[in-house]
Structure 1
Amino acid sequence: MMKRVIIVGGGYAGANLARALDSRAEVCLVEAREHFVHNVAAIRSVVDPSLLAKIVIPYDRLLRRGRVRQGIVASAFDGGVMLADGATIEGDIVIVATGSHYARPFKPTLHGARAFEDGVKAAHASLLATDRVTIVGAGAVGVELAGEISTAHPRKRVTLVSGASTLMPGYSAKLARSLEAQLRAKGVAIHLSTRVESLDATDSPYLGTLPGMPYAAENQLIFPALGARPITAIFRHMPAAYFDAQGRVRVDAWLRPAGAQRLFALGDAAATGDPMTIVAITRQVPWLAKIIAATLAGESPKSLPAYVPWSSRGILVPLGPRDGASMLPLMRDGVLVGNWTTALIKGRELFIPRYRKEFGYARKCA
């Protein structure tokens, strides 16, 4: 009899793992939303909302053998999960891949794809209605957004503000310098080591003023881009769970939290040593798929190689379809590549054809 694997969360980590295990186990993917949202392209959709028809994709073609069940998981344990409605799903292995939150409209919420689309369209309308844009936060989302807006609307006055002393804090200084030079060439005003004391909202863009900043009195479109927050409510019900400074659940060398034996954590919610990026998922998912296949065959995870994160922090940061810079997680310190390679890997198509194909929608829009 084929064994059951329950995966909680249908984002990048959960969906990719579900596909990898579909032929090896009876996979049940539990996801709160009815559609997958390819949020890698959400930043560009703010300047080009026509992308929405391509990046909001139903789950109905993701798996051939397994199934996707819509629901909210309240708790997980060795042997199964309990849904918010009280139903229990039993399984031989459970993987929790609940991902992370981000300010709207860059990631969907539990309210579903329609709310996500409405948020993107509202941000786009506000963008068209104003000449000045201020982005608060100079991590990957803030930097990429500044690049997309300044590329699509070169006459708009775009300002990027950060309390950090450099763009892309936590990443290579060479990467930060390359991105800063390109943004300045596009006319983006950059204010580093500048803390914004007051925001009217931190979870969505808004039209308003920004006290203490240049052009403070001018009405402007303000985008909070203050970083991702891991979704870890499920783990907080586990008495033995511990969390790192980012709020990610701590895991053992085989990505198991809270002393669990057959329950694993994956992706943004897990303190794997990787950053919260898709680049990290490309390492975690194949490794965990092998661990689970071996575990289902009767091997102990501890008899298998432990997880080792990338030796360097890799990330891809396009600044529009043609520009940008990336750090590839190769060799000890990573390899910096410029706009041509960044555009080839990510910037031109934002992985849209790949994910539409993986979800079975390669030829027509959802």
Structure 2
Amino acid sequence: MSTFVNKRVVIIGGGVAGSVLAKTLQEHAQVFLIDPKEYFEIAWASLRCMVEPSFAEKTLINHTEYASNAHIITSAAINISETEVTTANGKTISYDYLVIATGHDEKTEFTKTEKLGYFKANQEKIKSTNSILIVGGGPTGVELAGEISTDFPGKKVTLVHRGSRLLEFVGEKASKRAQKWLLKKNVEVILGESVTNLSSNTNGGIYKTSGGKSISADCHFLCTGKPLASTWLKETMLGKSLDNKGRLMVDETLLVKGYKNIFAVGDINDVKEMKQGYLAQMHSLVVAKSIKSLVNGKEKLEAYKGGAQMAIVSLGRKDAVAQISGMTMSGWIPAKMKSGDMFVTKTRKTLGLTS
């Protein structure tokens, strides 16, 4: 038997980074994937699922489908020592190498069946209403406005964003193109204001803004950013390895600084780059090479060199706005890259699955 059989790799988090790592390493070590959900969700396709629930069947993938040789622990990790990880369901898993890939906090964890029901319920909510308020003008809010205005053009959609422009993580040119597209679809865009009575207005009605505006809407969707899933780490030995934004500080090999066998990949680390799913996958491939070397008794670690800075925001089915290495484009070309199936086929192939 190969020596790798005795090496144990524990991966915390089954998102875009953790799934690729588990898939890649399962033939080279004993892999333990710890995740509160029994499935991997292609999260950037979730807004399409809101208007087309049948699409969700392709985007929710049981961990056992792509990582059949890994040990799947359906629970949250709650503590880490120098040799073990403890989970909420009482398991203790020892490791030789540990990878933190927890990404962002989803707040609510669904079973796969519940998640499919969630998408169906949201479609029904959209279909049954005449007016919809979207709070947040980042990529989630803009894409949701695009999906609704494309599939349900008769709906009155209002988007409120507290920033001075949409999509503040990309350049101003891309922001203006996205806003121009939404306005053509009759989406009302209100910038520089926030909604002040969301908590007391859960079932629609009159929404008030910080600028004194009143918005009548039958329902609303909150599309603001999600916090990093790192709060629990503060109470572990890695608490001192978090920066002031809650990210794990790593070196050029994506090792958590001060440790020789603990890596951090995806949004949870402090690599200074645009946080995108494809870059998280690149993190995982770099760490996979390093762990393969370590398992085989070699000390050479791979350095992460970064990837092209690229952001594509879908605007319905046939349009998109993109910023690639500082260049902005919009229309059918970036749409062909993403908007058709939201990279679902590509992601499934990365995990060794058919379309």
Normalising by structure 2, what TM-score? 0.88
Selected match of 1:14 from 1, 15, 18: 18
**Equivalent in the alignment of 1:232:** 230
Match of 2:278 in 1: 279
Contact 2:322/2:328 (8 A) holds in 1? yes
Partner residue, 2:218: 220
Q: Distance in 1 between matches of 2:281 and 2:203?
A: 34
Other structure's SS at 1:210 match: strand
Contact preservation (8 Å) 1:79, 1:262: no
In the alignment, the residues of structure 2 paired with residue 79 and residue 194 of structure 1 have an alpha-carbon distance, to the nearest angstrom, of 48
Q: Deviations over 1:23-46 (max 9, x none)?
A: 322222122212222222210111
Compared CA separation, residues 217 and 157, structure 1 to 2 (3 A): closer
Query: Does structure 1 conserve the Cα–Cα contact (< 8 Å) formed by 2:132 and 2:217?
Result: no
**Aligned-residue offset at 1:97:** 0.7
1:185 CA drift (Å) = 1.5
The Cα shift of 1:362 comes to 2.5
Question: Any idea what the Cα deviations from partners look like across 1:214-260, whole Å, max 9, x if unmatched?
Answer: 87362422111111211014421234524345432333333233622
RMSD across aligned C-alpha pairs, in angstroms?
2.6
> 1:158, 1:187 within 8 Å by CA — same for their partners in 2?
yes
Gaps of 5+ in 2: none
Distance in 1 of aligned mates of 2:350 and 2:96: 26
What is the letter of the counterpart of residue 168 of structure 2? P
Query: Percent of pairs identical after alignment?
Result: 28
* Structure 1 residue aligned with 2:123: 124
1:106 aligns with: none
In structure 2, what residue type is equivalent to 1:237? Answer: E
Matches within 5 A, 1:107-186: 109-186=108-185
- Counterpart residue type for residue 234 of structure 2: R
Match of 1:209 among 193, 206, 210: 206
Do the aligned partners of 1:126 and 1:207 also contact (CA within 8 Å) in 2? no
SS of the counterpart of 2:64? Answer: coil
Amino acid at match of 1:243: L
Q: Structure 1 residue 337 and structure 2 residue 329: aligned?
A: yes
The answer to whether the aligner puts 1:34 opposite 2:38 as a matched pair is yes
**Amino acid aligned to 1:222:** H
State which drifts further: 173-182 or 315-324: 173-182
Checking the alignment, whether the CA contact within 8 Å between 1:78 and 1:263 is kept in structure 2 is no
Shift of 1:361: 5.1
**In the alignment, what sits opposite 1:315?**
311
Match of 2:296 in 1: 297
Question: Which region of structure 1 is more displaced relative to structure 2, 141-150 or 210-219?
Answer: 210-219
Output the amino acid matched with 1:343. A
Q: Which piece of structure 1 moves more, 347-356 or 214-223?
A: 214-223
